Amino acid sequence: MLQRVAHRSQTSCTSDEAWTKYIVLNRNGSANQLEQSSRTFNPLVIFNEMKLQNNLMHLETRVRLVLELADVRILAFGTLNRPRASRNINPNAHAFLHPPGIDNTRPANLGPPPSVDDHGVYPMQNSSHQACTNFGAPSAPYERLTHPLPAPSHTHYPFFTPGGGDKRWLGTGEFEESGLNWVGPLMIVAQVLGPHTHDLSGDWPPFQDLDLAVGPGRTQYASMVWRDLWAIAPWMDERITKRIEGPGLGL
């Protein structure tokens, strides 16, 4: 397995995974598991097509680093706007990036809130659990993910980890920065980490938007499937109203 990971992160060979799968959270509550040829897999191109289909081409593509593990990091592609109608808002996109009820909660074992100013989001919760077993409604306690093991930058996931690498949400409550909402579909992919993935790739802000998807070490991807979604975001299990294999609206 380690050899496969090293092979995927350093070469463009896709013989061991000819099709790369990804998840799309739709604004109507459903979700699709889709796939595309690994040799041509480019999440920016795929998401641009989604924007075109949803009349969102006028909006900037936003990319968020959801979680980093030992050999992959989970990225989310979406769009932010101030919609005129609430039906255009994607509540599951917000819930995936910003677990419900976690704003004002922080695990007790993390100690006092840090003095670092990182967008003013410091989850507080009274919980000393160390395993990921009891996610659910906002009133239920969230527990730190231990398997798969997050990287140090996300060591307290799904709680906020201060230090600059955890930028899943950049606002508070139901809004992102500048009072915006997630609109349209949210695409979730798994990017294979390589020796240059963390190198700065341009003039973009680090750990968000195009810095995550453009540049050296950002062209290799692995499949993101249902079981991966439940592993890192089990609270989404009850929120998704319909799980669809392939394109379309399902039966």
Least confident of 3-17, 43-57, 188-202: 3-17
Residues 6+ apart with CB under 8 A from 58: none
- Please report, as a single letter, which amino acid is at residue 116: V
State residue 186's pLDDT score.
97
**For residue 235, how many other CB atoms are within 10 A of its CB?**
20
DSSP label at residue 31: E
State residue 122's pLDDT score.
28
Residues 6+ apart with CB under 8 A from 53: none
Mean pLDDT of 15-21: 84
CA–CA gap between residue 80 and residue 132 (Å, rounded): 30
State residue 179's pLDDT score.
84
Query: E-assigned strands of 87-215?
Result: 181-192
Split at pLDDT 50, 70, 90, the class of 108 is very low
Q: What is the pLDDT of residues 110-125, one digit of tens each?
A: 444 333 333 333 233 3
State residue 1's pLDDT score.
65
Task: Taking the CA atoms of 86, 54, 33 and 64 in sequence, report the sign of the dihedral they define.
Answer: negative
Split at pLDDT 50, 70, 90, the class of 100 is confident
The C-alpha angle 77, 81, 85, rounded to 5 degrees, equals 120
State residue 103's pLDDT score.
66
Residues 6+ apart with CB under 8 A from 89: 27, 83, 181, 182, 183
Share of the chain above pLDDT 70, in %: 80
C-alpha distances in angstroms, 48 versus 56, 204, 228?
9, 19, 24
137 token code pair: 């409604």
Share of the chain above pLDDT 90, in %: 57
Question: Could you tell me the maximum CA-CA distance found in the chain, to the nearest angstrom?
Answer: 51
Q: What is the pLDDT of residues 136-189, one digit of tens each?
A: 444 456 889 998 999 999 999 999 998 888 989 887 777 777 789 999 999 999
State residue 210's pLDDT score.
93
C-alpha distances in angstroms, 28 versus 41, 91, 170, 243?
26, 9, 24, 12
CA atoms within 13 A on the CB side of 44: 14
Q: What is the mean pLDDT of the chain?
A: 82
CA–CA gap between residue 187 and residue 23 (Å, rounded): 6
